[in-house]
Amino acid sequence: MAGKISMRAKREIRSAGGPNAFRLLCVKQLLWSKLSSAQNLFPWPVRGLDFDNDSAFMNDTVVSWCRSHDVEVTRSRAYKKNDQAFVEQKNGAIVRRLVGYGRFEGIDAARSLVRLFAAARLYINFFQPSFKLKEKHREGAKMIKCYLPPATPYEKALVHPRLNEAFKGRLREIYRTLDPVALLAQMRDAQNELGKRVDQRAGKSAMTVAQGHSDLAAFARELGDGWKQGEQRGIHRRRYVRRKPVPRRPSMLDPYIPIIEEWLAAAPHLSAVDLLSLLEAHAPGRFSGHQRRTVQRLVKNWRSKAARQLISNTEITLSVQASRLRI
């Protein structure tokens, strides 16, 4: 299984409910077992599955399983990206916020992703409210939007008129057994594990993983102040670091640098304009006012280097004098 890239089974469950994501390996034979697990997680029967045109889902294995379980299968139209807008928007609002943009490979990363989404599924569906658009209308050039009051998918399911009381009772039982702080701690632990494995090739030795939050009270206290400092997690986008040295382009001043340094050593007060005038007299027709910025950078670098050398020499002199005084 090493080298298989983990992927998210994106689907819209038309019956109701929030996002449910599973980490699947790109093996078609495993899809039917994951679909069975997904069906068991819902407190109500799954009536249909909506896929895109990916062959990982639209194949004989998945379609045959859906037909045998009386589940309707539909797919989006080709080149119609808005056919699944309600599920695709969760890629940014939920998946990328939880996982980031790194690359994960191998069984170990897949296990961490399973842990993360197992806790995130309950936390998002039961404790994270969201806005839904109620209506919108245009007034001239302005678009006026009206939203419903924020509510969690759990609260929306309880007030749904087509959901019977048996399913609502099951949802209430699940809700009473959940602790949002414990779920959030599990999500942070899984994110820390993924941060150790991001952009790592499959098959490498396991890295040291940070210890989980054993004290939930301490973890809850950290949440109160963590947002002020800007919590940085291991899955967040890393700053780009160039691995290769930046190539230096040749400059037309390179043959004249020793001469310029001699002029500056003799008269450090010379400005870039003065040096440019001397260069025009030294090499007529080769320099003009267009090279002023280049000469300014050269003068700045020379003076910075001379200042550092002067400070270093002064420190050496002072240290020698202090040692003589001790003697």
Q: Residue 12: which CATH number?
A: 3.30.420
Q: Give 256-265's long-range contacts (Cβ < 8 A, gap of 24+).
A: 256/282, 256/283, 257/298, 260/295, 260/298, 260/302, 261/302, 264/299, 264/302, 264/303, 264/306
If asked whether residues 155 and 11 sit together in one domain, one would say yes
Residue 245 belongs to some domain of the structure: no
If asked whether residues 265 and 189 sit together in one domain, one would say no
Query: What's the domain range around 164?
Result: 7-203
Q: Which residue has the tokens 């093996």?
A: 27
Residue 74 belongs to some domain of the structure: yes
List the pLDDT tens digit at each of the 327 positions of the chain.
Answer: 344 434 444 443 333 344 444 444 445 556 767 777 777 888 888 888 888 777 777 778 888 888 888 888 888 887 887 887 777 788 888 888 888 888 888 888 888 888 999 999 999 999 999 888 899 999 999 999 999 999 999 999 999 888 889 999 999 999 999 999 899 889 988 888 888 887 766 556 545 544 555 577 777 777 766 666 665 666 766 666 777 887 878 888 888 889 998 999 888 888 888 998 898 888 888 888 888 898 999 899 999 988 888 888 877 776 766 666 666
If asked whether residues 264 and 161 sit together in one domain, one would say no
Domain count, the chain: 2
Domain boundary among 203, 231, 246: 203
If asked whether residues 281 and 169 sit together in one domain, one would say no
If asked whether residues 41 and 105 sit together in one domain, one would say yes
Q: How many CA atoms lie within 13 A of 154 on its CB side?
A: 18
For residues 52 and 9, give the distance between their C-alpha atoms in angstroms, rounded to a whole number.
10
If asked whether residues 279 and 193 sit together in one domain, one would say no
